[in-house]
Amino acid sequence: MGKIVSLCKRRGFIFPSSEIYGGLGSSWDYGPLGTELKRNVKDAWWRAVVQERDDMVGLDASIIMHPQTWVASGHVENFSDPLVECKSCHLRRRATDVAGNTCPDCGGVLTEPRQFNLMFKTFMGPVEDEASVVYLRPETAQGIFVNFDNVLATSRKKLPFGIAQIGKSFRNEITTGNFIFRTREFEQMEIEFFVKPGSDEEWFNYWVKERFEWYLKLGIKRDNLHLRPHCDEELAHYAKGCYDVEYLFPMGWAELEGIANRGDFDLMQHAKHSGKNLSYFDEDSNERYIPYVIEPSAGVDRSLLAFLIDAYDEDVADGETRVVLRLHRALAPIKVAVLPLSRNEKLVPLTREV
């Protein structure tokens, strides 16, 4: 990973955030080439899942939503990680990242795990009280669910259809690291695909295959990619089933994208808490039901990191090592360059014209 971090800083892909002040943990800024690469990753995803399909529409929901959204979704109650703290050096870690009851830094004794909610809390307006508490969204999905009825009414789509969204999310992670792999501010590419109950397994399998192949089409080596099903203990509180598309990062196999069968949990919860009818009337079968949802959820930053790692290559010629990024042409920040080999200033205007 060190070579990738160095390359990104040297060539203007990614810089440490606020570097002149010593930086800020797990915060990164995208430079000129990184900005173009990131845009190309998002454009490739959007083109594949929205523009080239007739069963998908887009959405751009607000980052700050009504706080009741997160009560209904279960995030206020369930979106937490077990936290342990060293009694000696006060290092704080996620309990699942530490083996035993000993601090990995100083050898001190760790506290018993306590639940730590991962949502960033803030206040809306000039008064800081419980009535003005709001949260920075920890996922983009809920913005799609609360807009299901709006999109259905205005797009006139029939099931099965999906809503896609790209946007920033925020999680106050206890343990961050591995460059841009796990950060507290990140960008998601998410789909909520609404289907008739009973057809959900078929669509779940379809999206697992579709999303796995997307990475291969953009140049990820097959040996560096695999699918891993979640066991029951791993499943989120809302999920009927889940597969992770995993990539072989320098630190080992890790999640690149998750595809989950969320059942009817989210629409049922929002209907219950809001009092709104979020059911769907199926004209073909003449019945009304709450749709099931298949969710492919990818991280822009993780995808970008995987594409960089997979494209990294070193050429050795005449005793010198040259670093090359063999990015897919759809992702490459610069497609073509005209570089005059002469210092003749008369060539400059001609070069610009070309």
Report the half-sphere exposure of 206 (CA within 13 A, side-chain side).
12
Q: How many angstroms separate the CA atoms of 235 and 216, rounded?
A: 26
* Total residues belonging to the chain: 354
Q: At what angle do helices 32-46 and 300-311 cross, to 10 degrees?
A: 110
Work out the number of other CB atoms within 10 angstroms of the CB of residue 102: 13
Side-chain-side CA neighbours of 349 within 13 Å: the count stands at: 1
Specify whether the CB–CB gap between 255 and 306 falls below 8 A: no
Q: What is the pLDDT of residue 354?
A: 67
Model confidence, pTM: 0.88
Q: What is the residue type of 293?
A: V
183: left (phi over 0), alpha (psi -120 to 50) or beta: beta
**Residue holding tokens 């299901």?**
148
The structural domains of the chain, ordered by start, are 2-79+118-310 (3.30.930.10)
Separation between Cα atoms, residue 25 and residue 28, nearest integer Å: 9
Strand residue runs (E) in the chain: 14-16, 28-30, 56-58, 80-85, 92-94, 114-117, 120-123, 133-136, 161-170, 185-195, 225-229, 241-249, 252-263, 280-282, 287-289, 292-299, 312-317, 320-325
Specify the pLDDT at position 128: 86
pLDDT tens for the chain, 354 residues long, are 889 999 999 999 999 999 999 999 889 999 999 999 999 999 999 999 999 999 999 999 999 999 999 999 988 877 667 778 887 887 777 777 787 888 887 888 888 787 777 889 999 999 888 889 999 999 999 999 999 999 999 998 999 999 999 999 999 887 788 999 999 999 999 999 999 999 999 999 999 999 999 999 999 999 999 999 998 777 776 778 899 999 999 999 999 999 999 999 999 999 999 999 999 999 999 999 999 999 999 999 999 999 999 999 988 888 888 899 999 999 999 988 877 776 777 777 777 776
CA 47 to chain centre: 17
By DSSP bridging, strand 120-123 and strand 133-136 are antiparallel
Confidence at residue 85, expressed as pLDDT on a 0 to 100 scale: 82
Q: Calculate helix-pair angle for 2-11, 300-311, nearest 10 degrees.
A: 100
CA angle 237, 243, 248 (to 5 degrees): 125
Q: Is residue 271 a contact partner of residue 278, using CB atoms and an 8 Å limit? A: yes
Q: Alpha-carbon torsion 42, 57, 242, 70, what sign? A: positive
Distance CA 27, CA 183 (A): 7
What does the alpha-carbon distance between residue 236 and residue 226 come to, in Å, rounded to a whole number? Answer: 21
| Cβ neighbours of 124 (radius 10 Å) | 12
pLDDT of residue 346: 72
Predicted pLDDT at 282: 93
DSSP string, 252-267: EEEEEEEEEEEETHHH
**CB 308, CB 10: distance < 8 Å:** no
Rounded Cα gap, residues 178 and 181, in angstroms: 5
